């Protein structure tokens, strides 16, 4: 029965994709203005929690980047960019995903590090990407631009930081002849730009259910059966863990606010790299000050969690105060958390002044957490957004 169901789902996806591609020409009029370009380095897109990339079979059926609106990578490549999408662990920690990203870019075998793998209780080495790297060349002269959606934001930030300074822990634990080039550092200049997309830089109160049991119970009573069933299904899928790793080696650990803030302390903002962020919001403020989802624009999967985020306040176990400024959200991530890592250099985006080593915060995008992927049940055409943003990056000096 499961096999029949899966086959039907895949056929349905294929049919919808085929139909959507017929209408994909609606954005064909967008053209990249190459007259102002000063660079055209590769663009590497990194998916979020439970996501997938070009190394995964499912990407051919349903592209994570573009969804039912058509493959965003193909669109951008047709416009003169070189865009690729990585496949990192759907549930893994920022560390593991960063190590996987390096192997895919460098065309080598994944090395999670001797110290890390022994501490976390899993194999040190993973998949071998020799001969099938994401990019033709990755070096000081062949830089890359990184874009990370959701937890992909933490992935690319940590990846860039390790590229720059390496890992003292791995250097101390590993014989020099065995140490991965990744952990040696000295390659921060290989990253030209980094863009986060609806990323929980400072964590998300979506993982603070245990801190507000009464609020959760109240929401569960109000949630309609369809929303509850879809939300429970998503929670079970995201909550699956294996016994070969410690809790700290999972993505959801890194997204709890206390742990996200601690992770931020280990990640550098590189002075030679351009940083951008796009936060999302799909909520509206009510007379009592709380925020509720805009149902006409928000995926049904996120409405229940959005209502919780929209009225949650409290104090984390580590003592961090979550006030009303955290209530605006995109369904899964608090808008304030997606703007920039707390304490990092930052400014609102100014097209006349785009400095390196500073988070340039673009205007909040009006859409839910999946809108920057292209949406799921609510298809969202983001081709123009990425065409503009990538052209902007190529035009920087």
What's the chain's average pLDDT?
A: 87
pLDDT band with cut points at 50, 70 and 90 for residue 318: very high
| pLDDT > 90 fraction of the chain, expressed in percent and rounded | 77
Q: SS3 for 316?
A: coil
What pLDDT, on a 0 to 100 scale, did the predictor assign at position 397?
A: 78
What pLDDT, on a 0 to 100 scale, did the predictor assign at position 240?
A: 45
All structural domains of the chain, each given as residue ranges with its CATH number in brackets, are 36-394 (3.40.50.1820)
pLDDT band with cut points at 50, 70 and 90 for residue 34: confident
What pLDDT, on a 0 to 100 scale, did the predictor assign at position 373?
A: 96
Token pair listed for 108 = 């080598």
Q: Show Cβ contacts of residue 3 under 8 Å, excluding neighbours closer than 6 positions.
A: none
Tell whether the model's pLDDT for residue 17 goes beyond 80: no
Pairing relationship of beta strands 314-315 and 191-197 according to DSSP bridges:
unpaired
- CA 382 remoteness from chain centre: 16
Tens-digit pLDDT profile for residues 366-383: 999 999 999 988 999 999
Tell whether the model's pLDDT for residue 257 goes beyond 70: yes
CA atoms 265, 356, 81, 103: torsion sign? negative
What pLDDT, on a 0 to 100 scale, did the predictor assign at position 115?
A: 97
Token pair listed for 179 = 């140490």
Alpha-carbon distances of 366 from 38, 70, 128, 170, rounded to whole Å? 30, 21, 40, 42
The Cα–Cα gap between 121 and 250 comes to 12
- CA 315 remoteness from chain centre: 26
Mean pLDDT in residue range 43-71: 95
Could you say which DSSP state residue 122 is in?
A: S
Tell whether the model's pLDDT for residue 14 goes beyond 50: no
Tens-digit pLDDT profile for residues 186-218: 999 999 999 999 999 999 998 776 665 555 555
The Cα–Cα gap between 371 and 220 comes to 25
Tell whether the model's pLDDT for residue 241 goes beyond 50: no
Token pair listed for 97 = 């995903």
Tell whether the model's pLDDT for residue 15 goes beyond 90: no
Select from 360, 396, 234 the least CA-distant residue to 305: 234
Tell whether the model's pLDDT for residue 229 goes beyond 60: no
Per the listing, tokens 């870019």 go with 105
């Amino acid at each position: 029965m499961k096999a029949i169901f899966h086959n039907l789902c895949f056929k349905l996806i294929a049919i919808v994709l085929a139909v959507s591609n017929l209408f994909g020409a609606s954005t064909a009029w967008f053209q990249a203005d190459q007259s102002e370009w000063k660079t055209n380095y590769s663009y590497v897109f990194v998916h979020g929690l439970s996501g997938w990339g070009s190394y995964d079979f499912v990407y051919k059926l349903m592209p994570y980047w573009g969804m039912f609106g058509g493959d965003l990578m193909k669109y951008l490549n047709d416009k003169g960019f070189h865009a690729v999408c990585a496949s990192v662990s759907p549930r893994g920690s920022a560390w593991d995903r960063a190590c996987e990203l390096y192997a895919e870019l460098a065309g080598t075998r994944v090395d999670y590090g001797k110290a890390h793998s022994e501490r976390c209780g899993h194999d040190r080495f993973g998949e071998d990407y020799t001969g099938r790297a994401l990019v033709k060349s990755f070096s000081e002269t062949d830089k890359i631009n990184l874009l990370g959606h959701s937890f992909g934001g933490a992935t690319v930030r940590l990846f860039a930081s390790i590229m720059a300074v390496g890992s003292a822990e791995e250097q101390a634990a590993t014989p020099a002849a065995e140490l991965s080039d990744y952990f040696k550092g000295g390659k921060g200049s290989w990253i030209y730009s980094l863009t986060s997309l609806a990323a929980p830089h400072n964590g998300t109160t979506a993982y603070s259910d245990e801190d507000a049991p009464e609020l959760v119970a109240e929401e569960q009573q109000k949630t309609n059966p369809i929303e509850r069933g879809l939300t429970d299904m998503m929670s079970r899928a995201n909550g699956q863990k294996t016994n070969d790793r410690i809790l700290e080696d999972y993505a959801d650990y890194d997204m709890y606010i206390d742990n996200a803030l601690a992770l931020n302390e280990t990640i550098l903002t590189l002075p030679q790299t351009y940083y951008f962020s796009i936060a999302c919001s799909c909520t509206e403020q009510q007379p009592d000050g709380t925020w509720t989802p805009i149902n006409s624009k928000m995926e049904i999967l996120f409405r229940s969690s959005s209502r919780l985020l929209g009225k949650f306040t409290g104090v984390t176990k580590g003592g961090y105060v979550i006030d009303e400024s955290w209530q605006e959200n995109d369904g899964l991530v608090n808008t304030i958390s997606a703007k920039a890592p707390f304490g990092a250099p930052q400014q609102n985006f100014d097209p006349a002044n785009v400095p390196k080593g500073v988070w340039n915060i673009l205007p909040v995008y009006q859409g839910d957490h999946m809108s920057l992927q292209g949406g799921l049940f609510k298809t969202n055409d983001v081709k123009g957004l990425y065409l503009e943003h990538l052209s902007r990056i190529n035009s920087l000096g």
